[in-house]
Structure 1
Amino acid sequence: MTMRALKAVLLSLIIAFAAVPSLAVQPDEMLDDPALEERARELSKGIRCVVCQNESIDESNADLARELRLVVRERLVDGDSDSEVLDYLVERYGQFVLMKPRTDGWNLILWLSGPALFLIALGVGVTYVRGRASAVAPTEAALSEDEKKRLEELLKD
């Protein structure tokens, strides 16, 4: 095998292993009921690790992520619905714990303020451009007699 082929194989292996998500769920955390475990996994993908911040608790190896995974599973075993589990976590950690924040209440203002400000800026820009287009450029007719004489003198020199 040539060096070039060996490099290609190694690069392929690195890319293949990097593409596989590293799930941090430990075997002792998993539930015996496959349906509940699947629900827990789906919920865990949408819950942010507050330590890592850009990883879900399903992917994070942080101690707090492990605790949150256990809390999710405990709540599911106790009979909570998915929304009740999420409500419990939001109550404890705030909206930040959700990977995709809700679009209700105060968050609705944040979600709508971006498009609203864009529309306001667009309106101001259109008004400004229309105002400039309709503005009349000053002409010589608007000059007084003294200004006309002064302009003629300047142009002669």
Structure 2
Amino acid sequence: EDRMVQSRKEASIEEEKRIQAIRLKNKQFAANKRKIEKEREMARRFKQEMNRLNKLRKLRNVERMKRMEEYRRSELEERVQEAEERTRALLEQKHELMRQRQKNQIRAQAQKKQLLESFQRLRLTRNWKEVTKTNQNRKFLPAGIAGATSSRSNP
């Protein structure tokens, strides 16, 4: 009987050791499982954060490109506007020059007409004083001729 008790005691101790070994394995398995789950969660969060940062980087790049394009567009608009203003100013100068030339032509034609009329009268009267009596004619005649009198007398 002692042997049986002894043997039962030993069996009981062995059973207890086996149960403790199983519990230890279960604890280690659970700890390992928690560790793996924690690592997976960390990997998932890391991947999620990387995706968020990549999206943010892409969004910032798009915004930067938009700003650059807006700057280029505004610079181009400014250059076009300056070119248009230059063109407008040049056209205005051209028109003003054409108006001035037209005025000068009209004035020159009037002077020519008056000079021709004066020379025609001179031929008829042969008297410079008679021709230069009018103030209008005097300003168109050369200075030497306007003040001089003809040595020829009236026929």
TM value normalised by structure 1: 0.31
Which structure: greater helix fraction?
2
The structure with higher relative contact order (CA 8 Å, sep 6+) is: 1
TM value normalised by structure 2: 0.31
> Could you say which structure has the larger radius of gyration?
2
